[in-house]
Structure 1
Amino acid sequence: MASSTEDPAFAFTTHTSVEAFSVSPPVFLDCYFPLPGSSDTSRPPAPVFLATGAIVFDRPLPNNNFHPGSAGVDVSASAGALHEALTPNPNSDSAKPPRVLLIQRAAHDSMPLRWETPGGGCDDDDISILHSCARELFEEAGLHATTLGPVVRVGSVSSSEGIHGGESTKKQAHEWGEDMGGQFFRTRRGKLVCKFYFVAGVPEARTAEVVVDPKEHVGYVWVTEEEVRQKKVQGEEGGLDLEFTTQAQWEVILTAFHLWHA
């Protein structure tokens, strides 16, 4: 897939809260994490990787606050694209609960057949972290985000997969996460990652156009908050059980639904 620096299709309008993420991944690391070898202990250690996740609802987030653009964000798409993203479909049933997009990991991959939101690692040549999110959404689900934000702020540390160290280190990481919204975890090889989740707006007319990459995912489903809580999709023959990649992933999705209702 082409990176966001090469593909003009990654054009979106941003939420007012995501200005800090309008810079490239290397610049973000320099701004918000101590340099290697630094004695600065006021912030958590710099991760080896940055990653993003896209929370996609089947309709626009109510009362969202967008602006025409921010530093490093391509807003060459016309205002009509934003209007399309924010205007409810008159044929939709507003009484129905909102649903969020989940994709199922391939059987040959790690955490086989588990469910997650679209997302992945940031590339150094991505124009911004927001572009990383838009690129990953397209690569994993075939959808183009027309809006990005707000940040879905989530817990940053767990004893099993986050920052390892003394209570002071964990407290600093937690406070940093509360402020920036990043979630720390470690890969199977022990590499520290900080992941940011953003609500990614996709026009309602486009939500039926999900296409997953069979090398990475084998299916997708749109689920309600109650189905996420119960970890089961009703209506399927015998129902569809939802085993999420991690407990943290499950919590992120529920936090996003809380944003919807706020």
Structure 2
Amino acid sequence: MISTVDPSQPSTQYPTFTIDPSLSAFQLPPKTYLSTLPNDISNSTSLLTPRFIAVGALTFDSHSRILLIQRASTDSMPHLWEIPGGGCDEDDPTILHSVARELEEEAGLRARHVWAAEEEVRAGRVGGVDIKFTTAEQKQVILDAFQVRRTILRGSAAGVEGGIATG
């Protein structure tokens, strides 16, 4: 999803964006989406029903680098790295609006952030900065995003449209 932010609008406004139809399942309010998930916890092997949604923005620049932010020293998991994101708020119109809001909030904070190439993510080092991710799963999602991006770019070069959002 690519958003466009109008700096003249108050920060309470959501960035405007358009989406690819492949993302339509996330055009629901968070509560509505959660209500569509299975609610069967009678089987001891099933997972508990989720009660909230966390989102993340996999944001690339024109050099195929991904945006990473460093958590504050006062935050949980201090000084660790991740993609911009957070939880869906109850008043977010849709899950996609949550992603757009979090990206604006996180990227606009006075936080240390870095653009990392895939090789740098794999190495855990960008320039002179060691990158330690919040979780191994976070690092894997980022590496998977590079693979998906390559697939989409190959499809675009061949004239095939991929499942990405555009602004």
TM-score by length of 2: 0.77
CA contact (8 A) 1:119 1:133 kept: yes
**What residue number does 2:59 align with?**
56
**SS of aligned partner of 2:146:** helix
Tell me the distance in 2 between the aligned counterparts of 1:135 and 1:9. 6
**What residue number does 1:13 align with?**
18
Quick check: which one's strand share is greater? 1
**What residue number does 1:71 align with?**
none
Quick check: which one's helix share is greater? 2
Same amino acid, percent of matched pairs: 48
What code does the residue aligned with 2:118 have? E
Deviations 1:151-173 (A, max 9, x none): xxxxxxxxxxxxxxxxxxxxxxx
2:89 pairs with 1:123:
yes
Unaligned runs of 5+ in 1: 1-5, 60-96, 143-211
Tell me the distance in 2 between the aligned counterparts of 1:135 and 1:231. 28
Q: Once superposed, what is the RMSD of the aligned Cα atoms?
A: 2.2
**What residue number does 1:233 align with?**
126
**What residue number does 1:245 align with?**
134
CA contact (8 A) 1:105 1:111 kept: yes
Larger CA Rg, structure 1 vs 2: 1
**SS of aligned partner of 1:101:** strand
**SS of aligned partner of 1:106:** coil
**What residue number does 2:103 align with?**
137
2:74 pairs with 1:108:
yes
Tell me the distance in 2 between the aligned counterparts of 1:9 and 1:29. 22
2:152 pairs with 1:258:
no
What code does the residue aligned with 1:102 have? L
Unaligned runs of 5+ in 2: 1-10, 152-167
